Amino acid sequence: MVHPTVYYTLNNIPEGQKLTTAELSTKNTIQATAKKTTPVTKTGTAAKATTGTTTKALSYADVKPLLTKYTCLSCHNPTKKQIGPAFADVAKRKYTIDKMIGLIYNPNPKNWPDYAVAMPPMPQVPKADARKIVSWIKTLEK
């Protein structure tokens, strides 16, 4: 079983550029402001997640249990760089939902060369849960 808080152990500290103390984050402080990241249309309704059917947009609160269960939060934060890129930075790449799902199962370290640790493949994430996570990440596009 993978530890729910920390994926990497002290036995696997990578070489390379280190974060400054100011860049370190031990908490995901986005919880209180997560609702602000949901795009709003001119009518004031939340944007729809693109899953093939019309559904309400997912919020951080909706996907946080999945992000915790699959240890995503060990390396990623919604808005801050940690071991891996912020989810908002992933969204800026404007990958398709299917491309992002594929990268969960078969990450490509060449996509993020500035990070010392490559994302491991995450085959334990069911496709339906991966789609929910990716649909939420897509709401962070600006």
Domain membership of residue 42 (yes or no) is: no
**Domains in the chain, number:** 1
**CA 34/CA 138 separation, integer angstroms:** 14
**CA 16/CA 3 separation, integer angstroms:** 24
pLDDT of residue 56: 79
**CA 103/CA 119 separation, integer angstroms:** 9
The model's pTM: 0.63
Domain membership of residue 51 (yes or no) is: no
Domain membership of residue 6 (yes or no) is: no
Query: Which residues of the chain, if any, have pLDDT below 70?
Result: 1-19, 21-55
Domain membership of residue 52 (yes or no) is: no
Geometric angle at alpha carbon 96, from 90 and 100, rounded to 5° = 55
What CATH number is associated with residue 85?
Answer: 1.10.760.10
**Domain, as residue range, for 134:** 60-142
pLDDT of residue 106: 96
